[in-house]
Chains A and B, each alone.
Chain A
Amino acid sequence: MDEISPFPEVQHQRALLPEGLALDCGAVIRPLSVAYRSYGTLNAAKTNAILVCHALTGDQYVAERQPVTGKDGWWEAIIGPGKPVDTDRYFVICANVLGGCMGSTGPREEMTDENGVGLGRPWGTDFPVVTIRDMVRAQKKLIEHLGIDRLLAVIGGSMGGMQVLQWAATFPDSVFAAAPIAAAAHHSAQNIAFHEVGRAAIHSDPDWKGGRYWEDGRIPAQGLSVARMVAHITYLSEAALTRKFGRRLQGASALTFLEDVFQVESYLRHQGSTFVRRFDANSYLTITRAMDYFDLANEHGSVAAAFRDTPTRFFVASFSSDWLFPTTESRALVRALNAAAARVSFVEITTDKGHDAFLLDEPEFHRALGGFLTGAAAALKI
């Protein structure tokens, strides 16, 4: 692969919070910068806000063109005027997670000391360990900064769903409705294993330099690309891969035994090479670690205990071919919510698109989510 330099700096919309944030690991980050975007209009009573939480490699550009890649917003399938998350009715906010690389405080941002003084170099690997709860606390500060007491809903898929659960467990009075999609109450051993393969690939890159690759203006592109390739396989399903690529060759009709390339190989290489042009390796390490640490039962004794007496209503959805966050995890979550006497809706959507299905065109899922939000808004007379 050709030498790749870090992706360009972009001006992101941010909220700067000088008081900073105390993290679960004990460190303090000051000041705290939360990059975010919003769509729609906040009503006078400030009751129609919906927070969308992005997944591992997502960002705040959920319903508009991403400035670095030029691609469509990652959840435009459900967010927009007249869509299930209707920007004509709701004020939709999406923030870049703490530890991300799209403008929120993270490994690419300038390192500061505990007094908030800048040190003239990026955090890099000196960025502290963050948890999903830290990410949620940062989002809470953003919401308070925007003058909102209670969110109508918090919605997210995959790691976004973990954040949704963390929101409901940590700030129950600030979340009226919670929709964790294709999520789980903890990361399984298999999921941690896949993340570890990705991290090991990054660490083995010749340009890794102990995480200080930014000193030379280079990135561990090969390692990060491989990490993305293996992760991307976990987001799909065997059925979908067979359907999309099968055993077809790229640009040839028969094997020649000289540099044959299958279509699926070409696809993965493309996924890898485009990824390194928009995501930071240290951010990838930071955020995958946060997902691996996430364990609601551990925090509270049990998942049911986490949601005892919760005033929040839940919509849980899973996808039948998702083997990364399988239906069994969502069902266990639903049973724990039942044990906590919480108000729950739960559906499993039949699809062959694997974990990625939550981002794609799934009409049943969209109808169910839209109906859940409409019901929630009606209950609050919004």
Chain B
Amino acid sequence: MAGEAIQYVAKNMRLDLRLIAEMIPEGARMLDIGCGDGALMAHLAAEKRVDARGIEIDMGEATEAVAQGLAVIHGDADNDLAFYPDGAFDYVVLSRTLQAVEKPREVLRQMLRIGRHAIVSFPNFGHWEVRLKLLFGGRMPDTETWSRPWYETPNIHPCTITDFFALAELDSYVIERWLAVDERGLKAPWRRSVWLANLFGQQALFQLRRK
């Protein structure tokens, strides 16, 4: 497993989106929360006949996605998930947004009500660079991953990989798979040791379901 190369399914897509795309099977029904301009949706619809729907909080991006013919609505994770029926989707995706929503625990709960599986990616606040900058610099970390100043960042709920494992335990979610990668996806992902992943992984990716 350690020697496995990451398969690049679409060269220009963001790394974590490429990884997520691999996790979703042919013909699945998917909701992409925070879908941006719909790159992941468009890719999956074209390559894997996925029935993809999206929610995007930025009106400009939502309009762009709609102009591409995608089923995207302007909305947000905190307020709009409640309106979807139970089990409406096979996979509900929340990529790099969990740390920016108002109520992450509630959002996860809704995701696993409306979908059989949830796929969540987030930046890992436990990365060694973050720890070092806080420990020695005494300041909120300014890294490639955490680049917005504390007074402007939308990332109001940062967490570490270990934190996320603890939340899944608390709310009785089954972690079906997980991995951690560096920002540019140049190295093989961390999959075996949570402790090592928490230290060296910059972006974390989890697939969950309810017990």
Contact = CB atoms under 8 A, between A and B. Distances in A.
A338 B69 contact: no
A380 to B, nearest CB: 12
B68 A347 contact: no
B155 interface: no
A345 interface: yes
A372 B69 contact: yes
A343 B63 contact: no
B69 A378 contact: yes
A350 B74 CA distance: 13
Contacts of A374: 69
Contact of B84 (A341, A345, A350, A376): A341
A378 B69 CA distance: 9
A347 B63 contact: yes
Interface in A290-340: 313, 315-316, 331, 334-336, 338-340
Interface in B59-113: 59, 62-63, 65-75, 80, 83-85, 88
B67 to A, nearest CB: 4
Interface residues of A, number: 29
A345 B83 contact: no
Interface of A: 313, 315-316, 331, 334-336, 338-341, 343-350, 364, 367-368, 370-372, 374-376, 378
Contacts of B59: 347-348, 350
Which of A339, A343, A347, A350 has the most chain B CB atoms inside 10 A of its CB?
A347
A343 B84 contact: no
The 4 closest A-B pairs by CB, nearest first: A375-B69, A371-B67, A346-B73, A335-B83
Size range of the interface on B?
A: 20 to 34
B70 A375 contact: yes
B127 interface: no
13 contacts: A335-B83, A336-B83, A341-B84, A344-B71, A345-B70, A345-B72, A346-B62, A346-B72, A346-B73, A347-B74, A367-B63, A371-B68, A375-B70
A313 B85 CA distance: 17
A350 B73 CA distance: 15
B11 to A, nearest CB: 24
B71 A338 contact: no
A198 B207 CA distance: 58
Interface in B26-63: 51, 53, 59, 62-63
Nearest to A349: B63
Contacts of A349: 63
Given A339-B84, A341-B84, A341-B88, A346 B69 contact: no
A339 B83 contact: yes
Contacts of A371: 66-69
Given A341-B88, A367-B67, A376-B69, A346 B80 contact: no
B60 to A, nearest CB: 8
B68 A375 contact: yes
A304 B74 CA distance: 19
